[in-house]
Amino acid sequence: MSSPRIGVLALQGDTREHLAALGEAGAKATTVRRRAELDAVDGLVIPGGESTTMSHLLRDFDLLEPLRARLADGLPAYGACAGMILLASEILDAGTKGREALPLKGIDMTVRRNAFGRQVDSFEGDIAFQGLDSPVRAVFIRAPWVERIGKGVQVLARAAGHIVAVRQGAVLATAFHPEVTGDRRVHQLFVDIVSAHS
């Protein structure tokens, strides 16, 4: 099978690092900023960044409802940090009214924004990740955690007792940033999910 075409939502956040990681994992990686670009991809990565800003940009670029619709229709997606927040069905501490993070409802879960603390509380460590043969180096930057999961949501990793990686069907999310470590196994997992889905 040919390499899957995977987009990286390029409105805000660490787009370049995800494009590089996806390329190294065998995907045709491309940026997504417009509806036509969203319609053309087999899977989508929602990078880290600032979830309230990303929500507003999704609205400004007329991508919010089309993205929700594609997720509801089965589009494979992977969200890291802010991407995890946006993929949730419910967001705690979502922000002030009119400037809040907006759930895309890709995974049946409740996520708390900035759960591990502020920028100064950022940390990294090795964590076990279900399905991988050795721990992953997880970099947490103003990271969320998952407070509730619904039926059919698989927990892939925990840190400090909290859920930090999940999967539901073809949708994957991590509270940490694998794109900054050089370990491509999480991106490879997502490329394999998209390939199998296609």
The token pair at 24 is 């190294």
The catalytically annotated residue of 90, 177, 187, 197 is 177
81 counts as catalytic: yes
197 is catalytic: no
Which H, E and C letters describe 84-148, residue by residue?
HHHHEEEEECCCCCCCCCCCCCCEEEEEECCCCCCHHHCEEEEECCCCCCCCEEEEECCCCEEEE
Q: Is 90 labelled a binding residue?
A: no
| Burial (0-12, 13-18, 19+ Cβ within 10 Å), 144 | buried
**Selected catalytic residue, list 17, 81, 147, 197:** 81
Does 34 count as an annotated binding residue? Answer: no
- Does the annotation flag 182 for ligand binding? no
Among the listed residues 17, 18, 179, 187, the single catalytic one is 179
Annotated binding-site residue? 49: yes
DSSP string of 24-92?
A: HTT-EEEEE-SHHHHHT-SEEEE-SS-HHHHHHHHHHTT-HHHHHHHHHTT--EEEETHHHHHHEEEEE
Query: Burial letters for 117-132: b for 16+ Cβ neighbours within 10 Å, e otherwise?
Result: eeeeeeeeeebebeee
> How distant, in Å, are the alpha carbons of 4, 13, 119, 162, 167 from that of 40?
11, 21, 35, 36, 23
Instruction: For residue 179, indicate whether it is catalytic.
Output: yes
Question: Residues annotated as binding site?
Answer: 49-51, 113, 141-142
Question: Residues annotated as binding site for L-glutamine?
Answer: 49-51, 113, 141-142
Catalytic residues: 81, 177, 179
